[in-house]
Amino acid sequence: MYNTAYHKEELNKHSFLVTGGAGFIGSNIVEYLLKYGAKKVRVLDNFSTGDRSNLQEFMENPAFEFMEGDIRDPETCKKAVAGIEYVSHQAALGSVPRSINDPVTTNEVNISGFLNMLVAARDAGVKRMVYAASSSTYGDHPGLPKVENEIGNPLSPYAITKYVNELYASVFSRTYNFHTIGLRYFNVFGPKQNPNGPYAAVIPLFIEAALNKQAAYINGDGETSRDFTFVENAVQANIKAMLAPEVAEHEVVNIAFGERTTLNELWNRICELTGTDIKPIYREERVGDVKHSLANISKAKSLIGYQPAYSVQEGLSLAVDWYAKA
């Protein structure tokens, strides 16, 4: 992966911190930064959802540093940002169902942990902090495509935590002149995304089922649609947002491909790629799920120069290859 450079300046002058760097999106960001010669790439992770195996290939790289720790501890956050210019904050407890089952822990990690990182980055004089925001913030707003300034009521504890991140970041911009950029991810998928566990995302579950010649479970009638986004597009957004010219305030941008795919279409595409022909098993809708999601990505294009390089079909093909070999 990463045959295209998404940055213009040399990375060997700069130091980066990736929180949640052992996770799915975080480890892909780390891979990119090290491939293109970043001076220092530090990862902070507590392995609650991340995986040590995602970092294994970087351990011998002299530019790589690993720090085991939890963003819920302010001192840990302070140590993590020491000597760092750019922060990509990916550490969070994802998953709507997880947040419904355990709202307290989701709140502690995603809100208290986020605030700890904001304070630490501000106090350390970090040049730019970019953070993982979420399309869940759009809640019950019916409009499509989703535009950044029109949101509805949150539909899950997870969505509340991600919206609070944006509110805190906005207040830090106005009060302390510390300007961050939030990336509202839309259903990111790709290599290193874990298909195991109770909160696995739909694409790795579908791919694993297809590779094992088993039926996938689809929640609802399969006409639920999402703007599925290949992980390399999310990596590009992080790199461009960290290195973007100075911003005068807190900004939030949608990170997606800008195309809707239903769960039925998704399963059919994965079946084609894996040579499988199995009918899915339909079950009840999930609580807290939004029926349709589609992003307007024009703000990301104009603000940070984001240009998604991989369509859903191209991303699925690469993801299927990766899972088949993993």
Residue 1 has pLDDT above 90, yes or no: no
- pTM, 2 dp: 0.96
- Separation between Cα atoms, residue 164 and residue 167, nearest integer Å: 5
Residues 6+ apart with CB under 8 A from 175: none
Residues 272/38, Cβ–Cβ less than 8 Å: no
Residue 258: φ, ψ to 5°: 95, 35
Q: Which residues contact 166 (CB under 8 A, 6 or more apart)?
A: 133, 137, 182, 250, 252
- Give mean pLDDT, residues 211-232: 96
How far from each other are the two terminal CA atoms of the chain, in whole angstroms?
15
Q: Average pLDDT for residues 209-214, to the nearest whole number?
A: 97
Q: How confident is the model at residue 144 (pLDDT cuts 50, 70, 90)?
A: very high
For 275-306, what is each residue's pLDDT tens digit?
Answer: 999 999 999 988 777 889 999 999 999 999 99
- State pLDDT tens for residues 187-206: 999 999 999 988 889 999 99
Contact 180, 129 (CB under 8 A): yes
- The DSSP secondary structure of 184-215, one letter per residue, reads EE-SEE-TT----STT--HHHHHHHHHHTT-P
Give the distance, in angstroms, between the CA of residue 322 and the centroid of all CA atoms in the same chain: 19
Reduced to 3 states (helix: H, G, I; strand: E, B; else coil), residue 164 is helix
- Provide the mean pLDDT of the chain: 96
- Comparing 197 with 162, which gets the higher pLDDT? 162
How is the chain split into domains, by residue range? 12-188+230-258+290-309
- Supply the residues annotated as catalytic: 158
In the prediction, which pLDDT does 199 show?
Answer: 80
Topology of the domain comprising 12-188+230-258+290-309: Rossmann fold (3.40.50)
pLDDT at 287: 78
Question: Is the pLDDT score of 2 beyond 80?
Answer: no
Predicted local distance difference test score (pLDDT) of residue 66: 98
pLDDT of residue 102: 97
Q: How confident is the model at residue 251 (pLDDT cuts 50, 70, 90)?
A: very high
